[in-house]
Copies of this chain bind each other. A is one copy, B any other.
Amino acid sequence: MKLTEDHLASFSTNNFHSRSLDLLRDRFSDQQIDFDHFIRKVQAFQIAIPSAALGNGKASTKMHRTGGEPRNLNEKLEDIGLLQQLTRKTNSISVYIPWDMPEDYRETKDLAAELNLEFDTMNSTSSQDQNQQKYAKLGSLGNPDKEIREEAIAHNEEVISIGKKLGSKGLTVWMADGSNFPGQSNFRNTLGWTEESLREIYEFMPSDWKLMLEYKPYEPNCYHTVVPDWGTSSMLAKRLGSRAKVLVDLGYHLPKTNIEQIVATLMYQNLLAGFHFNDSKYGEDDMNPSSIKPYQLFLIFNELIEGDQSGAQTWESISWMIDASYNTQDPLVDLIQALEAITIAYAKALLVDRKKLHECQQNGESSQAQEILQMAYLTDVRPLVCEARIRAGGVAEPLEAYRILMIRNKLVQERGAKSHSYLF
């Protein structure tokens, strides 16, 4: 399914839009913000959609089938194409192998080209082998059994080969490796095997690729994860070489972690690979971005802009992806919300009066810093985000359009009420 120009043209901005926009332009005029430049920045910011997020989530007791879910990689590309037509915020897919194995490369690449979509970072699934037995106890790349490690390395190399054919430029490695009880695993041996395995993958990788190392403190393991924190991840990245960097998944941190500081510390070392956007209240909840801690996301973007503008690490070197899980709701609706929420956080952070902030940081003036941040955060930037979207060819209100066009209904008709690609 693809929307026609007529479909899109039928949605114009409401009558408040230009008034809101003018007001914002006037209010920020003294901050000497070039509005067109600002809107181009917001436009340019594009977020990848993971192939795993387009259907309803994990095979848990809380799962619910929305209907019309894509049945294969090509249908997933089509869904992202729809998202892109409406929002103009996502120009790429991040493919999980073997879950979303291309059946016909030619066809898949042609479809992507037709939809103006690119292939973002590839994802191996070292967390799981297919018969769910070999990796179950002691993992993949760090497994004490050399044969299993080699199998896991080969899997990652295969993912790179597939990615090369698709035109991807990076590989994300998340290992579920770890142990359930004290004593079960030898911490240092496991780390050593993991480093060796990653080195083989790193060396297999084309020279213009980026290796993104994810970390996660716990789950599915109860006691220890081989790469639990940014410290371990960055130690491995530095040992591998300059194309290896650290991926930050917002939900994968211990309680109370200051994530915006981690972002700054990684940029201090030019070590930030990119993000998996989501939110969480308790554990690794895979909730939609900004559904719990929108201010945290704003502070993270504040650091990203600061790091870019100060020359610590370029904006272009960073990858952006949503990584939330949709169990009981329509994934396309929530992805539209996610794209909007992330863009809003970014746009608000762009409004921070950075010059004034630097001045008060020099003196540690907390009240003034708070005032400067709030001035940006409390601003309703939706008209700006909307304007950027319209100028890029999207619709004013994507959610509204999605409903009026009855997209889900049409997908159900096309694909069936119980369609899905795989359960995991």
**Complex alpha-carbon distance, A162 and B185, angstroms:** 44
CA distance A370 to B181 in the complex (A): 7
How many identical chains are in the complex?
Answer: 4
Q: What residues on B are CB-neighbors of A264 within 8 Å?
A: 187-188, 191
Residues of B within 8 A of A379 (CB): 380
A210 to B235, alpha carbons, bound, how many Å? Answer: 22
Complex contact B217–A369 (CB within 8 A) = no
Stretch at the interface among A15-23, A37-45, A76-84, A113-121: A15-23
Which residues of B sit under 8 angstroms from A255, Cβ to Cβ?
A: 254-256
Partner of A364, one of B137, B217, B228: B137
A135 cross-chain contacts in B, Cβ below 8 A = 61
* CB of A421 closer than 8 Å to a CB of B: no
For chain A, the bracket of interface size reads: 35 or more
Complex partner residue of A132 from B61, B220, B230, B260, CB under 8 angstroms: B61
Q: Of residues 233 to 263 in A, which have CB atoms within 8 Å of B's CB atoms? A: 234-235, 254-258, 260-261
Residue of B nearest to A271 (CB): B235
Chain B residues with CB under 8 Å of A290's CB are: 374
A 168-189 contacts with B by CB, 8 A:
176, 179-189
- 12 A-B residue pairings within 8 Å (CB atoms): A64-B137, A181-B287, A181-B288, A181-B291, A188-B265, A217-B282, A218-B283, A222-B286, A228-B261, A229-B229, A231-B265, A337-B367
Kindly list 14 other residue pairs between chains A and B, CB separation below 8 angstroms, not including A219-B282, A295-B295: A61-B176, A64-B136, A181-B370, A182-B370, A188-B264, A191-B268, A218-B282, A222-B286, A223-B281, A224-B258, A256-B282, A282-B283, A283-B283, A293-B295
- 10 nearest A-B residue pairs (beta carbon): A231-B231, A183-B369, A187-B264, A380-B380, A222-B285, A218-B282, A137-B364, A138-B364, A181-B366, A184-B366
